[in-house]
Chains A and B, each alone.
Chain A
Amino acid sequence: MSSLIVMRSTPYGNTNAKDALDVALTLAAFEQEPALLYEGRGVLQLLLSSQMDTPFKHLGKILSALPMYDIEHIYIDKDSLTECGIDAKQLQNLPVQCRLLDATQVSDLFQQHQHVMVF
């Protein structure tokens, strides 16, 4: 009975990134162990050091809270990184551990979850 939350939006273009993390944190608080997948332009959310000060809550702060909520299944679509011109080395300082997946593994991930919510 697990949920996969797919992060597909740019970090601050709308509230999707934050709203998705709010859903993830709530599911975790209800002990449902949600998984997160960053794909498409959603991988830009992971470039934390390039995000300027905004009047909104910095996504890095929320990301660092994920381990406290036992959210440990965090995945990144490898092809999306390439498409956005991001080198995996740029993600070394993330406050959470993420696993890089190829296209087949991403497809398996969708199969493994009962509910999928795309943000």
Chain B
Amino acid sequence: MNPLSYCLVVRCGPNQQSQALSAFEFARELLAQGHRLERVFFYQQGVLTASSLRTPAQGELNITHQWQQLQEQHPFGLDVCIAAALQNGIVDENESQRYQLHSHNLASGFELAGLGQLASATATCDRVITFGANV
């Protein structure tokens, strides 16, 4: 088997459960099969996955934690589109200072990034797979 390099694009929110979960399970499985995951790019509603303030009901899966744990085992980028993040109230410390907001909530392991990261992934990855496209 030839290992392939992947970029996943997550466009659904963390509460669109089956789609959000499919993205995560696809990532876990491709790594288990020896492929390379270059980055996961969170776009549109997907950026909400990166909020450290998400508190799912007791006994329910926290997809944010799942991504963080997977990334600790296999280093890959968890890139959050900065424009979509700001629109949806996801900010890191820098952006919080820049816009004089009273707090920041970007979960650890996630990074704010421009669409350029997606462009670089389409240039270098063998496969770009989108999850949660609302069309």
Contacts and interface: CB of A to CB of B under 8 A. Distances in A.
A16 B119 contact: no
B128 A26 contact: no
B128 A117 contact: yes
A119 B132 CA distance: 10
B113 to A, nearest CB: 11
Say what secondary structure dominates the interface of chain A.
mixed
Given A16-B135, A118-B133, A23 B44 contact: no
B123 interface: yes
A27 B119 contact: yes
Given A117-B9, A117-B128, A30 B133 contact: no
Given A8-B135, A16-B134, A119-B133, 8 more contacts: A1-B122, A9-B135, A14-B134, A22-B83, A23-B118, A30-B119, A32-B123, A119-B135
Interface of B: 9, 43-44, 83-84, 114-116, 118-120, 122-123, 128, 130, 133-135
